[in-house]
Structure 1
Amino acid sequence: MRPCSLPRLAADASQDDLDRLYAERGAALVACDAARRLAVETLEVERGLVDDWLDGRPR
């Protein structure tokens, strides 16, 4: 439920800073997407277990 944190470019950044930040930001986006997918998968499994329990079906 917490938002992802993405690196930001400083106002006085150099070209090297921009290049470094580009890679860091890409890695942060990949990590954020992986965390989101894991959270969604966990929620789906949890809801399935609750539904099965309510229906009286063991899993």
Structure 2
Amino acid sequence: MTCEGCSNAVTRVLHKLGGVQFDIDLPNKKVCIDSEHNVDTLLETLKKTGKNASYLGEKSVQ
């Protein structure tokens, strides 16, 4: 993700999937997702944007 267009594409596909809460960190090119879906489903959904996506692990809560 490098621009608002990319961010909008991610937002669009995740809203279509449903059951997802997310926060886009455009400067760091990351999306933090809280979802009822498994990682594979989320990655396949994000690939629909035409961008590469990878799982970086769970976010630490402090």
- TM-score bracket, shorter-length normalisation: under 0.3
Structure that is richer in strand per residue: 2
Structure that is richer in helix per residue: 1
Report the structure number with the largest CA radius of gyration.
1
TM-score, scaled relative to structure 2:
0.26
TM-score, scaled relative to structure 1:
0.27
